[in-house]
Amino acid sequence: MLQNTEDQSQKSVASSSLEGQSNDDSFENIWQELKWRGLVHVSTDESELEQVLSGAPITYYCGFDPTAPSLHLGNLVQLLTMRRLQLAGHHPLGLVGGSTGMVGDPRPTAERSMNTKETIAEWVGYLQGQVARFLSFEGDNAARMVNNLDWTAPMSAIDFLRDIGKHFRVGTMIKKDNVASRLSSDEGISYAEFSYQILQGMDYLELHRQYGCLLQTGGSDQWGNLTSGTELIRKVEGKQVHAFGTPLITNSDGTKFGKSEGNAIWLDPNMCSPFSMYQFWLNSADADVIKLLKVFTFKKRDEIEALAAAVEDRPHAREAQRVLAFYVTSLVHGEEATQKVIDASGALFGKADLGLLDEATLVAATSEVTRVVVDREELSVLNLLVASKLAGSLSAARRTVGDGGAYVNNVKIADPDSVIDDTDLLHGRYLLLRRGKRTLAVIEVEA
């Protein structure tokens, strides 16, 4: 069950997609660039941290807990921040939380449901691979992957309480935001989740001792956990180490960032297709797109400022959205997959008559879209909406048609009882099904 972190990091040697990434040398130092990109929300002593980051290479870390089989866009902010620091010459430690994932970081709302140790171990493996893809494992400041289970699992409860627990004051612990909000809620908080901050503090101490780690980064919601580490190290080692938290990325209209169709945008292509990811970025609001370019790309300041001007002058052209969508989708899924997605988007959202596309083009264009094979007997529009998951149930499908939101081959369907006949099939076996303006699925009819 225990993942060997050495093996993992070697297996996931950085891909060529890291080539061409660099920081913007028009900034005085990396700290200034991070601030310009809006990546610093809170930090330990800022002038000191800026000095540390401007000096000789240091070792820093950021952790990812296995709460799902994949990382998502929120984690991508951290991954890219790590990469920026690496490009500035510092040594990254990519931590996957084999132990912390078993305990659960307290969410403000409710206790986390526990997953089995087997599941967590499996997810740890997936996350290690994903984290590794965004860091370079070559050169003077090669990244290293670590798993906190390696130093947590062998520790006895008594050692934990004496060596670590003794340094934590409950009064301080219950004041941390996540804990405090849970304590004042009806839900309360379990001792396990309450202890989470100690585990994360211990991680930082361990990495400080083992690798001389001097900086931890994370989301600003992690601030309490970040400082629990800096405080522990100060008490135990008498050393001042650093941490900073990136802001929570928000949408200007107040909705949650990083969701599409109610689902998180995952980095795993099996959980969120490159097509969906591209569409997600392309649909960014004008008010958000520049901020997103700063956070999610390595585009330089002058390029981003030019795009900001483009948004002002010709918003309908959506140049910034296109750059953002191409850039980030390429970063996560590679340029080749992204180019296919762009071609598909052109074909599917364009004005072209689908019947005029030759079969090869159609198949290529739709290769990234949800594809469902159905039996020839099942060709009612309502069935197809359900089979393709465009509608959650027959009732929902009926509503969609009633709302005027169902299209077959870009033609609106008015009658809920419509049945597809052979003449509607493209190349004798394909149908393009759409719900609303932009949710697509391809139906392939079994001969």
Residues 348-367, mask of contacts with RNA (x by CB under 7 A): -x------------------
Q: Are the CB atoms for 142 and 26 separated by under 8 Å?
A: no
Q: Nearer to RNA by C-beta: 55 or 402? A: 402
Q: Nearer to RNA by C-beta: 346 or 355? A: 346
Residue count, binding to RNA (CB under 7 A): 44
Q: Are the CB atoms for 40 and 246 separated by under 8 Å?
A: yes
Residues 151-190, mask of contacts with RNA (x by CB under 7 A): --------------------------------x--xxxxx
Enter the tokens of residue 143: 């990244």
Which of 47, 255, 270, 423: binder of RNA (CB under 7 A)?
A: 255
**Which helix (H) or strand (E) covers residue 439, if one does?**
strand 439-445
Does 253 interact with RNA (rule: CB under 7 A)? yes
Q: Nearer to RNA by C-beta: 235 or 438? A: 438
Tell me the closest approach of the beta carbon of residue 351 to RNA, in angstroms. Answer: 10
Strand blocks (E) in 333-402: 371-374
Bridge partners of 62? 94
Place of tokens 């006949």: 421
Tell me the closest approach of the beta carbon of residue 41 to RNA, in angstroms. Answer: 23
C-alpha–C-alpha distance, residues 85 and 92, integer Å:
8
Does 212 interact with RNA (rule: CB under 7 A)? no
Residues 46-65, mask of contacts with RNA (x by CB under 7 A): --------------------
Residues 297-316, mask of contacts with RNA (x by CB under 7 A): ------------------xx
Q: Nearer to RNA by C-beta: 222 or 279? A: 279
Does 410 interact with RNA (rule: CB under 7 A)? no
Does 392 interact with RNA (rule: CB under 7 A)? yes
Residues 270-289 that bind RNA (CB under 7 A): 279, 282-287
C-alpha–C-alpha distance, residues 149 and 95, integer Å:
10
Tell me the closest approach of the beta carbon of residue 183 to RNA, in angstroms. Answer: 6
Residues 423-442 that bind RNA (CB under 7 A): 435-439
Tell me the closest approach of the beta carbon of residue 281 to RNA, in angstroms. Answer: 10
Tell me the closest approach of the beta carbon of residue 203 to RNA, in angstroms. Answer: 26
Tell me the closest approach of the beta carbon of residue 273 to RNA, in angstroms. Answer: 14
C-alpha–C-alpha distance, residues 198 and 98, integer Å:
15
What is the DSSP code string of 13-28? ---GGGTT----TTSS
Does 321 interact with RNA (rule: CB under 7 A)? yes
- Its sign, for the CA torsion 39, 44, 50, 52, is negative
Tell me the closest approach of the beta carbon of residue 318 to RNA, in angstroms. Answer: 4
Calculate helix-pair angle for 223-237, 196-211, nearest 10 degrees: 50
Q: In this chain, which stretch among 13-21, 166-174, 331-339, 385-393 interacts with RNA, using CB under 7 A?
A: 385-393
For residue 141, the SS3 value is: coil
Does 108 interact with RNA (rule: CB under 7 A)? no
SS3 string, 184-248, reads: CCCCCCCHHHHCHHHHHHHHHHHHHHHHCEEEEEEEHHHHHHHHHHHHHHHHHHCCCCEEEEECC
Q: In this chain, which stretch among 63-71, 95-103, 299-307, 388-396 interacts with RNA, using CB under 7 A?
A: 388-396
Q: Nearer to RNA by C-beta: 352 or 394? A: 394
* Cβ partners under 8 Å of residue 412, min gap 6: 404, 406
Q: In this chain, which stretch among 33-41, 156-164, 368-376, 402-410 interacts with RNA, using CB under 7 A?
A: 402-410
Tell me the closest approach of the beta carbon of residue 291 to RNA, in angstroms. Answer: 13
Q: C-alpha distances in angstroms, 241 versus 87, 276, 385?
A: 21, 40, 55
C-alpha–C-alpha distance, residues 441 and 322, integer Å:
22
Which of 7, 261, 336, 422: binder of RNA (CB under 7 A)?
A: 261
Q: Which of 405, 438, 78 minimizes the C-alpha distance to 282? A: 438
Does 254 interact with RNA (rule: CB under 7 A)? yes
Q: Give the strand order in the sheet containing 411-412.
A: 371-374, 439-445, 430-435, 406-408, 411-412
C-alpha–C-alpha distance, residues 362 and 347, integer Å:
8
Residues that bind RNA (CB under 7 A): 183, 186-190, 252-256, 261-262, 279, 282-287, 315-316, 318, 321, 345-346, 349, 386, 392-396, 398-400, 403-405, 435-439
